[in-house]
């Protein structure tokens, strides 16, 4: 199991997996929580390298000390779990502690299962299962370029992941947490030929300018305009009426 890094998504790694006959399972894209153990190991390694650089010490000695530090809930260090013994460091250590110990390995799997069950118990206290989606459901999917695009589920679920096709034609694989059910109607994207036909049959933007109908303007004189009427804009500003009357405006047009 790995993430969707470029080193694992290449054709060369795919051929390597087929040649050595092992199944490569990737976690949900943009969902590092599903691959939390590997993400935690990367974070710890970066912290060790950063602190070693800050203190100007040997980073290999810092990594060696980390490998000999017992893991919480397991009681054994990574070196003991790998080689069944401790490795020698700069700290004074008794010779018998550097020997192999088969007694600790015997109960390691039981401790690991107990720690995993306890972690799952604490996590499930505040979590809930999301409703399962089926192919054809209209959803909103979170994408890198435009959050929450409208799309349709085309396959899933597979390891809590779904394949969703958006309106633009892109197909994304996302975790269920990044998909929301939608009650909107589906919209089929138009092709380039349809766009061309619509543009060709559209009415021209520019229209011939007709001469002003003076008689129609004169009829506006008979419409009473209330005095003291205040017009409030959306921003809250009070719009004042112009001091030029409509008949003065008509006379100005006729003299021009």
Asked if residue 95 and residue 199 are part of one domain, the reply reads no
Considering only residues 97 and 236, tell me which one the structure prediction assigns the higher pLDDT. Answer: 97
pLDDT for residue 60 is more than 90: yes
Asked if residue 23 and residue 98 are part of one domain, the reply reads yes
Asked if residue 143 and residue 232 are part of one domain, the reply reads no
Q: How confident is the model at residue 226 (pLDDT cuts 50, 70, 90)?
A: low
Asked if residue 94 and residue 138 are part of one domain, the reply reads no
Considering only residues 56 and 97, tell me which one the structure prediction assigns the higher pLDDT. Answer: 56
List pLDDT tens digits, range 150-205: 889 998 788 778 989 888 888 888 888 888 888 877 555 444 344 434 333 334 44
List pLDDT tens digits, range 232-255: 676 667 766 655 555 565 565 565
- Look up the CATH number of the domain holding residue 183: 2.30.30.140
Number of domains in the chain: 3
17-21, 52-56, 101-105, range with the lowest pLDDT: 101-105
Domain assignment of residue 28, given as a range: 11-124
- Cβ 162 vs Cβ 173: under 8 Å: yes
**Rounded Cα gap, residues 38 and 2, in angstroms:** 8
- Flag whether 138 is in a domain: yes
From the list 184, 183, 182, 164, the residue with the least C-alpha distance to 174 is 164
- What pLDDT does residue 200 have? 36
- Cβ 140 vs Cβ 148: under 8 Å: yes
List pLDDT tens digits, range 111-142: 888 888 888 888 888 878 888 888 888 899 88
| Domain end position, chosen among 102, 124, 146 | 124
Asked if residue 195 and residue 99 are part of one domain, the reply reads no
Asked if residue 81 and residue 15 are part of one domain, the reply reads yes
Name the one residue in this structure whose structure tokens are 């051929």: 15
Percent of the chain with pLDDT over 70: 73
Asked if residue 136 and residue 109 are part of one domain, the reply reads no
- Cβ 223 vs Cβ 182: under 8 Å: no
């Amino acid at each position: 199991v790995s993430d969707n890094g470029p080193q694992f998504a290449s054709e060369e790694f795919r051929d390597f997996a087929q040649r050595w006959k092992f199944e490569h399972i990737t976690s949900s894209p943009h969902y590092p929580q599903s691959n939390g153990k590997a993400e935690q190991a990367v974070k710890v390694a970066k912290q060790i390298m950063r602190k070693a650089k800050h203190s100007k010490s040997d980073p290999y000695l810092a990594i060696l000390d980390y490998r000999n530090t017992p893991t919480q809930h397991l009681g054994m260090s990574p070196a003991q779990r790998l080689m069944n013994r401790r490795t020698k460091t700069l700290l004074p250590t008794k010779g018998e502690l550097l020997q192999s110990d088969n007694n600790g390995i015997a109960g390691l799997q039981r401790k690991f299962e107990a720690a995993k069950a306890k972690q799952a118990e604490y996590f499930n206290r505040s979590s809930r299962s999301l409703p399962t989606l089926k192919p054809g459901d209209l959803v909103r999917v979170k994408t890198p370029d435009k959050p929450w695009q409208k799309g349709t589920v085309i396959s899933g679920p597979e390891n809590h992941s779904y394949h969703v096709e958006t309106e633009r034609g892109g197909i994304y694989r996302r975790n269920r947490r990044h998909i929301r059910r939608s009650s909107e109607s589906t919209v089929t994207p138009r092709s380039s030929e349809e766009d061309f036909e619509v543009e060709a049959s559209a009415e021209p933007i520019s229209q011939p300018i007709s001469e002003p109908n003076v008689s129609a303007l004169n009829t506006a004189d008979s419409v009473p305009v209330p005095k003291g009427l205040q017009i409030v804009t959306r921003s809250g500003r009070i719009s004042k009426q112009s001091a030029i009357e409509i008949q003065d405006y008509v006379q100005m047009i006729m003299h021009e």
